[in-house]
Amino acid sequence: MHLEIHHDPAAQRFEVRVAGVHCLLDYGLAGSVMTITHTLVPPPAGGRGVAGELVRAALEFARGEGLLVRPACSYAAAWMERHPDYAELRA
């Protein structure tokens, strides 16, 4: 599934609408470290890989900006464990 994920740097958020619901990933920045604090995919959008795509979008942004990533969100931490190609980003 191709998702049109929107990055809102002012809100420190990645977001997308799926099945009519708002899905998001929130993060914070401190120096050169992005901390992923929360992912939210409401049940109507669940089971479609949306949370994983939100994490991937955030990590690709971090990679492009030269940031390290601290996955404080348990979903993001588990996703990074399952995708070792992003291991070098871990703070």
Q: Considering the domain boundaries, does residue 64 fall inside one?
A: yes
Which single residue is written with the structure tokens 């920045």?
29
What domain range includes position 31? 6-89
Q: Considering the domain boundaries, does residue 46 fall inside one?
A: yes
Q: Considering the domain boundaries, does residue 1 fall inside one?
A: no
> What's the total number of domains in the chain?
1
Provide the pLDDT confidence category of residue 2 given band limits of 50, 70 and 90: confident
pLDDT value of residue 1: 64
Q: Considering the domain boundaries, does residue 21 fall inside one?
A: yes
- Which residue(s) pair with 61 in the sheet? none
Q: Considering the domain boundaries, does residue 55 fall inside one?
A: yes
Q: Say whether pLDDT at 10 is over 90.
A: yes
Instruction: Give residue-wise pLDDT tens across range 15-49.
Output: 999 999 999 999 999 999 999 999 999 999 999 99
Q: Tell me the CATH number at 47.
A: 3.40.630.30
Tell me the HSE value of 38 on the side-chain side, using a 13 A CA sphere.
11
Name the pTM for this structure.
Answer: 0.96
Q: Considering the domain boundaries, does residue 44 fall inside one?
A: yes
pLDDT value of residue 36: 98
How far is the CA of 4 from the CAs of 55, 57, 69, in angstroms?
Answer: 13, 10, 22
